[in-house]
Amino acid sequence: VPAAWQRPYLNVFKHFRVEEWKRSAREGDVAALTDARLKGTVYRIRGSVPASSYLQLPRTGTQSLGLAGRYLYLLFRPMPRKHFVVHLDVATEEKQVVRISFSNLFKEFKSTATWLQFPFVCAAAKGSAYDRAAGTARRDPVGAAPADARWTCLVLDLHSILSLYLNRRYSHLKSVKLCSNLLVKNLCTSDLVFDPGMTFSEARQADLACRGVAPMPREMAFPVPKGEKWHDLYDYIRFPSEGSKLPYDSIQKSCPGPAAVSEDSARQLPQPVTLTKAVRDRLSLIHQITSPKAV
């Protein structure tokens, strides 16, 4: 359970004062910019070799962020026609360090006892030429981000990832390394499921707080012009997603997006996953049968 200072959520960039570069590190072409659409500061990480340009928290490998929230939120946008890589080092309750990496460079899921590598599939804006082209060429969806790749709220359930893929128990997040080519607004950790499309009044009416679901904190939110809907403007990806195909071998936008809050859909809002031993065993078996050999 996160310490009191990490609840109900922790704004990672703000807490560690990323802009001062005292508790974080940058290498290569990393710059703070003002994004007109998001009306705030974002960090642009770019370079021809992902490993040579990055933003890293904490500053050195001997330190640890010590963040215990179950969910990691990454607010980012893949740079058009480029590749990116993100590395997360997490600690298990067994005191083992596991690296979770995802990238649109990876062609397939790979795993060892200490490293999980997930392909990231960049979605094109719905109805765009890129979206239609992807529909006719689904055989290799992994690759450089489309020209109209959108700002994305990626929610990683670190507890479930370690449980499903390695049968390990999650303890805390040690470090984050964001490698080119990305625009990043923020990072956040929490034990709550934030739905960015939900308003605070809707959450109160549906009494969702007791179910671990909450609106996106204002300092973490993407702006939505009056009359527009969040899910029409941005992408929301929760991984592992619930339902859909098993095992989850890539990170991508599921269809449809998270349920909007209404009288009908309030019951369908995402819930933290509680896996029975039987389900875990079944997933483990499926994973052994279908996953590539460890590298």
In a domain, 282, yes or no: no
* Nearest Cα to Cα of residue 144 among 109, 117, 182: 182
In a domain, 245, yes or no: no
Residue 251 CA, chain-centre distance (Å), reads: 9
In a domain, 280, yes or no: no
In a domain, 56, yes or no: yes
CA–CA separation, 84 and 252 (whole Å): 14
Cα separation values, 195 from 64, 65, 217, 220, 271, Å? 28, 25, 10, 11, 11
The three-state secondary structure class of 54 is strand
Q: Which two tokens stand for residue 170?
A: 């999650």
Number of domains in the chain: 1
Residues 6+ apart with CB under 8 A from 239: 118, 154, 155, 156, 157, 161, 248, 251
pLDDT score recorded for residue 279: 38
Give the other-Cβ count within 10 Å of 153's Cβ.
26
Q: Which residues pair with 33 in a beta bridge?
A: 42
In a domain, 174, yes or no: yes
Residues of the chain short of pLDDT 50, as ranges, are 128-140, 245, 256-295
Q: Which amino acid is at 99?
A: R
- List, for residues 149-176, the tens digit of each pLDDT value: 999 999 999 999 999 999 999 999 999 9
CA–CA separation, 219 and 8 (whole Å): 13
Cα separation values, 190 from 122, 131, 173, Å? 25, 32, 11
Give ∠ CA 168-101-213 in degrees, rounded to 5.
65
Q: Which domain holds residue 26?
A: 4-130+139-239
Give the other-Cβ count within 10 Å of 36's Cβ.
7
In a domain, 187, yes or no: yes
pLDDT score recorded for residue 141: 54
In a domain, 230, yes or no: yes
In a domain, 205, yes or no: yes
Enter the pTM of the model: 0.81
